[in-house]
Amino acid sequence: MRRAAVSRFRHALPRRPGDFMQVLALMAAAAALAVGVTFVVPARYVAETSILLDSYSDLSSLLSMAQSSDILPGGILPGQSRKENGYSYTSIITSRSTLSDLLAHPTGRSPNETYLSVFSTGSGTPQRKLEVAMGRMKKAIGTRFDQRSGLFQISVTHESPVIATGIANLLALELRRFNTDVRTTRARDAVGFVADRLQESKQSLTVSENELAAFKSANARIGNAPELLLRQSRLEREVHFNENIYALLSRQYELAQIQAKNETPVFTIMDPAMEPTRPHRMPRVLTGLIAGLVTGLVFLLGKSGLAALRLDRGPTAYVASSRAS
């Protein structure tokens, strides 16, 4: 089968000058058509911004040292000491809330123009326009994350270099706002809650200790009095209980402070998006060359397949068709 296919393909190759010129003319026409299409299709520009994520190496060492020395229980911070997962940022910048906020921003090209007016359709309900705009913007956004280097890249493709650059920079600012507002606020709330409970526990411990001290001062010699012994036992048990609660909350407070630092990932915008000056497309010469070569190859394969079809019809039909050609 392979030999027969190779033989038919060789037979389809141009042998006469006229056949050769025919293939060249077809390839030239395909190349010219492909190059012409590049002039008709609007150019698209790509704006990119690079963000370097913190690896938390110092914090990971601190957590390992604390857990190995029994300051913190082992396994109480699962997964918190690893490098910030950049893939979560992809979900953040393509979420509905982020895109809807971004669409409300002005583009800067004209006073009343917003990104919603750029990406939405000309007709339809406001909800429909918002859905279409978010879908188009989501397709224009691309991300890439390198776990080894911690580099997170955002790329935006659009017909306008100003629009592409503006969206890329706004997305980087949105990630920074998410870190400072959402994660930092949540971590501070956790620290504040534990700090309040620690203060309450300290007051309870102080009250119970004072009650026990006052009881012992008033009853220096209780002897074998059952009621006094029971009262003293209850006060000592209450002091011991409050001591355990205070010690537990003290460890939780230290843990909450470390966790607050861990949940506030720091990143650096290494390369803000700059307005691209050249469109992102294949060179026209290369486009025409590839189109011509592909067209010529398809023509030869089609001619080879046609020869095989004639051969399948039978020897008589094949001989007749050969003589006719």
Q: Are residues 291 and 245 part of one domain?
A: no
Per-residue confidence (pLDDT) for residue 256, from 0 to 100: 80
Per-residue confidence (pLDDT) for residue 31, from 0 to 100: 74
Q: Note down pLDDT in tens along the chain; length 325 residues.
A: 556 555 555 555 555 666 667 777 777 887 777 767 666 666 778 999 998 876 554 444 444 444 444 444 444 444 433 445 677 888 888 889 899 999 999 998 888 899 999 998 777 788 998 999 999 999 999 998 888 888 889 999 988 899 999 999 999 988 888 777 766 676 777 788 888 999 999 999 999 999 989 988 888 777 778 888 888 889 999 999 999 999 998 988 888 887 776 665 567 788 888 888 777 565 666 766 787 788 877 766 676 666 555 555 555 444 444 554 4
Q: Tokens at residue 298, please?
A: 């398809």
Asked whether residue 18 is domain-assigned, the answer is no
Q: Are residues 184 and 295 part of one domain?
A: no
What CATH number is associated with residue 142? 3.30.1890
Own/partner contacts of 91-98, CB < 8 Å, gap of 24 or more, are 92/174, 92/175, 92/178, 93/141, 93/143, 93/154, 93/171, 93/174, 93/175, 94/138, 94/141, 96/134, 98/171, 98/174
Q: Tokens at residue 184, please?
A: 């930092």
Asked whether residue 251 is domain-assigned, the answer is yes
Q: Are residues 108 and 219 part of one domain?
A: yes
Q: Are residues 212 and 159 part of one domain?
A: yes
Q: Is 134 exposed, middle or buried (0-12, 13-18, 19+ CB in 10 A)?
A: buried
Q: Tokens at residue 32, please?
A: 């010219």
Q: Are residues 291 and 144 part of one domain?
A: no
Asked whether residue 253 is domain-assigned, the answer is yes
Q: Are residues 305 and 238 part of one domain?
A: no
Location of structure tokens 């534990």: 194
Report residue 114: phi and psi, to 5°: -115, 170
Q: Residue 75: which residues within 8 A CB-CB, separation 6 or more?
A: 67
Asked whether residue 167 is domain-assigned, the answer is yes
Asked whether residue 3 is domain-assigned, the answer is no
Q: Are residues 207 and 64 part of one domain?
A: yes
Q: Are residues 111 and 50 part of one domain?
A: yes
- Nearest-angstrom CA–CA distance, 115 and 118: 5
Counting the structural domains of the chain, the total is: 2
* Residue-range definition of the domain harbouring residue 114: 45-271
> Rounded to two decimals, what is the model's pTM?
0.56
Per-residue confidence (pLDDT) for residue 68, from 0 to 100: 43
- Whether residue 273 contacts residue 47, with contact meaning beta carbons closer than 8 Å, is answered with yes
Per-residue confidence (pLDDT) for residue 246, from 0 to 100: 92
Per-residue confidence (pLDDT) for residue 219, from 0 to 100: 84
Per-residue confidence (pLDDT) for residue 305, from 0 to 100: 62
Amino acid at 218: A
Q: Are residues 245 and 133 part of one domain?
A: yes
Q: Are residues 152 and 209 part of one domain?
A: yes
Asked whether residue 82 is domain-assigned, the answer is yes
Amino acid at 161: P
Asked whether residue 20 is domain-assigned, the answer is no
Q: Are residues 189 and 291 part of one domain?
A: no
Asked whether residue 39 is domain-assigned, the answer is no
The pairing of beta strand 141-146 with beta strand 267-271:
unpaired
Q: Are residues 123 and 216 part of one domain?
A: yes
Per-residue confidence (pLDDT) for residue 69, from 0 to 100: 41
Per-residue confidence (pLDDT) for residue 304, from 0 to 100: 63
